[in-house]
């Protein structure tokens, strides 16, 4: 079963981090779409195309430049139209059951013409990033559907238990604006409510994954305030700072932020100039747009293994 609970359009601009989905979530809640625009991309005075960073859309430059924050290559900026693209989801078999493999197929359509999109920009080594999160925030995975010749994308999933799961799709249509679009799927055998936000207890404690200790440091989290979030990594066996992190999808780390009700989500990457290439410190710049409970999943790669650590962060209002 597929339930279209939330669709969030991405809105470029608004500072030096990729806050598009966060800002859109303030304007878009449970099914409506809209946006807020700052510094819309336009042609240069000489009529040349403008290039921007999909993760930090207020970073502009020319073809061949890289983003000074995350170091990814700039891509050609979109026209000043930020409507959310349409995401169609098809699950095979149609009856989705927990602990059974199923194939999820995506089709992306232009919001105005309904034309199927078949070309996407490569963003951090993939054309489509998919996050699957359970409604209770206990299950998380970051996977990458394969692009087919007809423009559809598909990937196999196996969900651990009956329930509601949120699909968060992060992609950039060629010539379009960055998108972060959500849909929900429900397994057979689930009899609970479709919307039941959890209330996770604060959890800022160190995490140990794959022989690596991950320590989170951040100032008091306040809604609406841009802030730095720092992770320090240590080898558990030796106690030494980690210096052998490997690039994972073109970055030293990835972070997904989501509000407890999953109405807000953002996919962030490290500030390259403040992060060690191999560790031990990795810094993200982020914004919590409203007060409430949030879950953070941070990912690194070490020794060929992707490490995922989760934290629960309570965020206060500024006033």
Cα–Cα distance for residue pair 316/193, rounded to 1 Å: 27
Q: What is the mean pLDDT of residues 1-6?
A: 49
Label residue 46 by pLDDT band (50, 70, 90). Answer: very low
What are 141's two structure tokens? 């995975």
The confidence score (pLDDT) of residue 79 equals 58
Residue the block writes with tokens 């994972």: 248
Supply the Cα-derived Rg of the chain in whole angstroms.
19
- Contact yes or no for 173/86 (Cβ under 8 A): no
pLDDT > 90: what percent of the chain? 71
What are 284's two structure tokens? 């993200």
pTM of the model: 0.79
Q: What is the mean pLDDT of residues 310-316?
A: 97
Cα–Cα distance for residue pair 180/9, rounded to 1 Å: 6
Q: Which of 300, 284, 304 is nearest to 213 (CA)?
A: 300
Length of the chain: 319
Q: What is the CATH number of domain 207-315?
A: 2.60.40.1930
Cα–Cα distance for residue pair 234/71, rounded to 1 Å: 25
Which pLDDT tens digit goes with each residue over 103-128?
999 999 999 999 999 999 999 899 99
Residue ranges of the chain assigned to CATH 2.60.40.1930: 2-186, 207-315
Cα–Cα distance for residue pair 43/232, rounded to 1 Å: 41
Per CATH, the homologous superfamily of domain 2-186 is Macroglobulin (MG2) domain (2.60.40.1930)
């Amino acid at each position: 079963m597929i339930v279209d609970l939330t669709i969030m359009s991405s809105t470029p601009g608004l500072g030096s981090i990729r806050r598009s989905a966060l800002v859109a979530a303030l304007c878009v809640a449970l099914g409506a779409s809209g946006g807020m625009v700052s510094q819309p991309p336009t042609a240069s005075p000489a009529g040349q195309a403008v290039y921007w960073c999909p993760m930090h859309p207020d970073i502009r430059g020319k073809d061949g430049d890289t983003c000074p924050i995350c170091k990814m290559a700039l891509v050609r900026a979109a026209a000043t139209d930020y409507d959310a693209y349409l995401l169609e989801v098809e699950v095979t078999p149609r009856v989705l059951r927990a602990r059974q493999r199923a194939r999820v197929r995506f089709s992306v359509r232009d919001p105005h013409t309904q034309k199927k999109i078949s070309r996407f920009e490569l963003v951090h080594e993939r054309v489509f990033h998919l996050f699957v999160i359970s409604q209770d925030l206990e299950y998380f995975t970051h996977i990458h559907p394969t692009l087919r010749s007809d423009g559809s994308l598909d990937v196999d999933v196996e969900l651990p238990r009956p329930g509601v799961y949120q699909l968060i799709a992060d992609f950039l249509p060629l010539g379009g604006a960055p998108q972060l679009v959500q849909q929900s799927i429900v397994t057979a055998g689930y009899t609970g409510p479709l919307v039941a936000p959890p209330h996770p207890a604060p959890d800022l404690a160190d995490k140990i994954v794959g022989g690596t200790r991950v320590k989170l440091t951040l100032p008091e989290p306040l809604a609406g305030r841009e802030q730095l979030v720092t992770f320090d990594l240590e080898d558990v066996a030796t106690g030494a700072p980690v210096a052998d992190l490997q690039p994972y999808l073109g970055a030293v780390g990835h972070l997904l932020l989501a509000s407890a009700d999953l109405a807000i989500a953002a996919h962030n990457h490290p500030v390259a100039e403040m992060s060690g290439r191999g560790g031990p410190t990795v810094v993200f710049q982020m914004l919590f747009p409203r007060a409430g409970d949030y879950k953070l999943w941070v990912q690194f790669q070490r020794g060929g293994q992707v490490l995922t650590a989760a934290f629960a962060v309570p965020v206060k209002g500024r006033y």
